[in-house]
Structure 1
Amino acid sequence: MENQGKYIVDMTKLPFSGIVQNITDIFKLYVPTLQEVQQTKTIEIRNDYNNAVIAGFTSSASGTAVNYAYDEVSQTKFMKVLMSMSANIITYPATIFAADGSAIEFTQEQLTQLYKDIANFEIPLETKLHTLLSEINSATTADEVNAISW
């Protein structure tokens, strides 16, 4: 008796609704641990943070509201310009490219304001990320974890 002691459901004898109910019941059997729920939520929140950063920011440092990309490549370019400013080797007006690819020229004062705008964009996102990660790690139930959102 190869099936002795095993639970077998003959799906061919059930109506479709019964099959769906049996499949639903099988998936209800697995309940993730708190740690698994926290790990999943951490990934979700980090993805939300990354999406918020990559969405870019708007600055009026040039005198007009302009949208700037802030993906990894753009961040590297901004860092290179900042290093050039710090080393006092940049020529003004300096050109920065907007999200739409248009070239925007900046005076030293305008460029300094642009970097203040970047900080005002990025620091609150970073703060929110770490606050939410702390809440996830402090949660004691899966429901508490699942209630956390970006």
Structure 2
Amino acid sequence: MRAKLLMLPVMMLAGQAGAQMPSLTPDQEKALAKEIGERVATDKVNCIRQSPLLKLTVISDDVLVYRAGGKRFVSRTIGTCHGLMKGGKPIIGIDKPRICAGDMIVVEDLASGIRTGTCAMGGFATYDRPEKADKPD
């Protein structure tokens, strides 16, 4: 049963992205499941608020997880951001108050400063702790 629950975020991402998107490796699936933990999918949003407290975890060249407090926002990019898994720095307009689906990401190699890839943000699947997900607004 637990294995099925851990695969749920991966299956949801696959459904959002369509069959042409690359699948995650077993290690990437584990990393995604670790990021989401026991959280449940609560919503799909097009934008999330930029904040110094917003932390990014790169799962693959096309799956990103943003953490804000107890919430997780999972996005599958539109296209593949080559270089993210090799430690490239994702550059998204930092002067904007929000990160939205369709925003361009440029990946820059930290050592050379060379751009290694570009892609666009996808929408965000929101995951929250079960006790918060059950409470009405």
Query: Which category of TM-score, normalised to the shorter sequence, fits these structures?
Result: under 0.3
> Which protein shows a greater Rg?
1
